[in-house]
Amino acid sequence: MITQPQVTAIPDPDEERRRIQTERLLAYRDDGPLVAALKGRLGPGLPPVPAMLVALATVVVLAVTGTLGKGPILLVPVLVIVALVVPTAPRDHLGRLDWLIPPLLRGTEFLTIILLGLAADTPKWLLFVLLYIVGYHTYDTVYRTRQGIWPPAWVFRAGLGWEVRLLLLGVGAATGLLTPVAAVLTAYLVVLFSVESVVSWVRLDKASAQAQADQDLEQSPEDAAEQATGDADAA
C-alpha cells in the first residue's frame, strides 16, 4: 500500500511573532488564579490601556484627595483595580500601546501596596521586602522569556497573581490586619519565588552542561583540535 508522505505545516512567521509577543505580555502581567478562572467567561474583554489608565488614575485621586483613611475604605482602590483590569485579560495585547500594560500594572500594584501600608501603619521595611520579591519575580520572568525559557504556569498560580495579592492586602488593611497579612504573604512569596528561580536556573545550567558534554563526545578529534586552535587564536 502506498502512503502519501506527511507534510508538516510551516507556521506563518508573522503569526508566530504575534503569538510569542502575546505570551510574553501576558506573562509579564503576572495574572493569578482569579484571572485564570474568569478569563474564559469575560467575552472579548475590555481595552487594556484605557482600563488600566482609569484604574491608575482612580488610585492616584484617592491618594491625593486624602480619601484613604483607616477601615473599609482601604478596600476601595483594590476593588476598582480588580474590576477594571481583570476583564482586560482576554485581549491579545497586540495593540499599538498594549506593551505599556505590564509596567503600568506593576506600577499600580506597587503604588497601591505602598498607600495601603502607609495608611495602615505597616512597617516600611516589610513593604520594601514585599515590593522587592514581587519585583524580583517580574525581573526573573522577563529575563527567562528573553532567553526563550518560559516559567511554568503553576508559578503564576502559586504566586497568587497581582489580583489575589492585592485582594488579600486590601482585606487585611480594611480589617486592621495588614501587617500580619503582609508578613505571611511576604514570607510565602520569598520562599516560593526564590527557591523556584534558583532550582530552575540550576537545572538549566546542568542541562546546558550535559548538552555541551554530549556535543564534545560526538566531536571528532580533528574538529576538537581545530576548535581549540580557533579559540586560542581568538584569545
**Collapsed DSSP state (helix, strand, coil) of residue 8:** coil
- What pLDDT, on the 0 to 100 scale, is given for residue 200? 80
Return the CATH fold of 13-216: Four Helix Bundle (Hemerythrin (Met), subunit A) (1.20.120)
Half-sphere exposure of 79 (CA within 13 A, CB side): 8
Cβ atoms of 120 and 179 within 8 Å: the answer is: yes
- Take residue 92 and report the three cell numbers written for it: 491579545
**What digits encode the pLDDT tens for the residues 92-113?**
888 888 899 999 999 999 999 9
- Please name the amino acid found at residue 110: F
pTM reported for the whole predicted model: 0.80
Flag the least confident range among 15-24, 59-68, 194-203, 209-218. 209-218
Q: Please, what is the angle between helix 178-218 and helix 161-174, to 10°?
A: 160
Cβ atoms of 158 and 195 within 8 Å: the answer is: no
Residue 117 phi/psi, 5-degree rounding, is -65, -40
**How many helical (H) and strand (E) elements, i.e. helices and strands, does the chain have?**
10, 0
Label residue 210 exposed, middle or buried (CB < 10 Å: 0-12, 13-18, 19+).
Answer: exposed
pLDDT average, residue stretch 55-79:
91
Radius of gyration, CA atoms only, the chain? 23
Neighbours of 170 (CB within 10 A): 24
**What digits encode the pLDDT tens for the residues 130-177?**
999 999 999 999 888 887 777 888 999 999 999 999 999 999 999 999
Res 3 pLDDT > 60: no
Site of grid cell 526564590: 194
- What pLDDT, on the 0 to 100 scale, is given for residue 93? 84
DSSP 91-149: S---STTGGGHHHHHHHHHHHHHHHHHHHTT--HHHHHHHHHHHHHHHHHHHHHHHTT-
Q: Is 192 left (phi over 0), alpha (psi -120 to 50) or beta?
A: alpha
CA–CA separation, 141 and 106 (whole Å): 13
Label residue 126 exposed, middle or buried (CB < 10 Å: 0-12, 13-18, 19+).
Answer: middle
- What pLDDT, on the 0 to 100 scale, is given for residue 208? 52
Of 115, 162, 158, whose CA–CA distance to 138 is shortest? 162
- What pLDDT, on the 0 to 100 scale, is given for residue 202? 78
